[in-house]
Amino acid sequence: MADQSGEPFGVYVHIPFCVSKCDYCAFATWTDRHHLSDAYLGALHVDIRRAIDEGMPVASSIFVGGGTPSMLDGAELGAVISAIPVVADAEITVECNPDDVSVELLRHYVAAGVNRVSLGVQSMATHVLGTLGRRHDRRNIERAVDAIHTVGLPSFNLDVIYGAAGESTEDWEHTVRSILAFDPPHVSAYALTIEAGTPLAEQPDRHPDDDDQADKYELVDDLLTASGLENYEISNWARPGHECRHNVLYWRQQDYRGFGCAAHSHRTGRRWWNVRTPDRYIDLVAAGESTESAGETLDEPTRRFERMELLLRMRDGVPLDALDGDRLPGLVERRNDRWVLTRSGRLLANEISTRLS
Ligand SMILES: C[S@@+](CC[C@H](N)C(=O)[O-])C[C@H]1O[C@@H](n2cnc3c(N)ncnc32)[C@H](O)[C@@H]1O
Ligand code: SF4
């Protein structure tokens, strides 16, 4: 039986396939397992069916991420999405790589209820896309955004990354101004992060410079804000009403269920994650066994600390008793009964988190 309490409930579906592996990426995704995609989609159907039978709540948001969901057949992925019970106004997002997007693909998504795509633009400078090892170019991006407008999706996000080797301030400004020309309702701008175990981690000469990334953060914040996109989480800007409800649910520690390999779930303080490989996931579902790899239950102090850490990153900040904000001048400011990060504070959020009580 579904939970009709009205509390938000999110569903995440992980698609672990990519055409090629970007050397900075640590997500659970493979380039040599496409032969598993039919079996994987079949396992998702079975796993979702079981969760419904066990009383999974109706979803207020679905996020299909990866990996590269858009490399799968649109109708087949749409069938998985359609199998998940949702509330009437659910937000349903699919992550897409620009080189895969076509009007035809998006029509399959729309038929399955998808109303938002998140497009991995990363950069609008050709040589930066090359450094990042991306397969697409700016024409793919333009075509993808045209397709989004043609099918009339109510919302979309553009992901960009700053701080790649060889990216000048001018390149970054060009990227931000170019994506603004697409009139996006939502932008996620991420500082390129060095993830342990990736090829990029082994090449220190290509690692980003902290000061350069701080300058680029200020630049993107200035340009997006001036265009009417409001910063609502450190790396996320949206026009009013276009904030990503699914991510907000994560940041508010609400409940969600993840399907597919490496997917994470959370229910009232207990969180768990699935086995990492698609092979193991398919086998376990076929055997009727749990796909959980491990899990943990947080004690109340840890849960509260994590809640404050996540809230601090958001526009509305934390309650006054969570932080001695008077000792952090210039980094936080008091807004009514909350401490909210200033822009300088957003650049030092991790350090400020260590002062949370
Ligand atoms: C895991 S990807 C999936 C989407 C799609 N495959 C793509 O790459 O566009 C989601 C987003 O994570 C971001 N990302 C992945 N690795 C990152 C890293 N090391 N540093 C910063 N952002 C990263 C990228 O902006 C990417 O769009
Ligand atoms: S960044 Fe995206 S396309 Fe690149 S390997 Fe990771 S998931 Fe795949």
Q: What is the pLDDT along the chain (357 residues), one digit of tens a residue?
A: 334 567 899 999 999 999 999 999 999 999 999 999 999 999 999 999 999 999 999 999 999 999 999 999 999 999 999 999 999 999 999 999 999 999 999 999 999 999 999 999 999 999 999 988 888 889 999 999 999 999 999 999 999 999 999 999 999 999 999 999 999 999 999 999 999 999 999 999 999 999 999 999 999 999 999 999 999 999 999 999 999 999 999 999 999 999 999 999 999 899 999 999 999 999 999 999 999 999 999 999 999 999 999 999 999 999 999 999 999 999 999 999 999 999 999 999 999 999 997
**Ligand 1 proximity of 190 Cβ (cutoff 6 Å):** yes
Q: Cβ(253)–Cβ(245) under 8 Å? A: no
Mutate to test the pocket of ligand 2, among 18, 31, 71, 136 (most ligand atoms within 8 A of CB): 18
198 CA closest ligand 1 atom index:
19
Residues 6+ apart with CB under 8 A from 142: none
Q: How far apart are CA 169 and CA 220, in angstroms?
A: 11
Mutate to test the pocket of ligand 1, among 21, 77, 95 (most ligand atoms within 8 A of CB): 95
Residues 6+ apart with CB under 8 A from 32: none
Q: Is 58 exposed, middle or buried (0-12, 13-18, 19+ CB in 10 A)?
A: middle
N-terminal to C-terminal alpha carbon distance within the chain? 39
**Ligand 1 proximity of 93 Cβ (cutoff 6 Å):** no
> What pLDDT does 5 receive?
65
Residues 6+ apart with CB under 8 A from 354: none
- Cα dihedral 241, 247, 248, 251, rounded to 10, equals -160
94, two tokens: 């699919």
DSSP secondary structure letters along 44-98: HHHHHHHHHHTTPPPEEEEEEEES-GGGS-HHHHHHHHHTS-EEEEEEEEEEE-G
97 CA closest ligand 2 atom index:
3
> What pLDDT does 357 receive?
79
Taking phi over 0 as left and psi of -120 to 50 as alpha, with beta for the rest, 290 belongs to beta
Prior bond to 152 cis, omega within 30? no
Mutate to test the pocket of ligand 1, among 159, 188, 207 (most ligand atoms within 8 A of CB): 159
Using the CB atoms, write b or e for 82-95: b if 16+ within 10 Å: eebebbeebbbbbb
Q: Which residue has the tokens 């990153």?
A: 313
Distance from residue 135's CA to the centre of ligand 2 (Å) = 10
Sign for the pseudo-dihedral over CA of 131, 98, 257, 46: negative
Q: What global pTM score does this model have? A: 0.96
229, two tokens: 């996109």
119 CA closest ligand 1 atom index:
9
Distance from residue 319's CA to the centre of ligand 1 (Å) = 32
> What pLDDT does 322 receive?
95
> What pLDDT does 220 receive?
98
**Ligand 1 proximity of 250 Cβ (cutoff 6 Å):** no
Taking phi over 0 as left and psi of -120 to 50 as alpha, with beta for the rest, 86 belongs to beta
Distance from residue 8's CA to the centre of ligand 1 (Å) = 25
DSSP secondary structure letters along 183-210: --SEEEEEE----TTSGGGG-GGGPPPH
Alpha helices (H) in 271-322, listed in sequence order: 278-286, 300-312
Mutate to test the pocket of ligand 1, among 13, 14, 25 (most ligand atoms within 8 A of CB): 25
The residue contributing the CA closest to ligand 2 atom 6 is: 25
Q: Which residues line ligand 2 (CB under 6 A)?
A: 18, 21-22, 25, 27, 29, 66-68, 97, 120
> What pLDDT does 4 receive?
54
Distance from residue 1's CA to the centre of ligand 2 (Å) = 36
> What pLDDT does 276 receive?
98
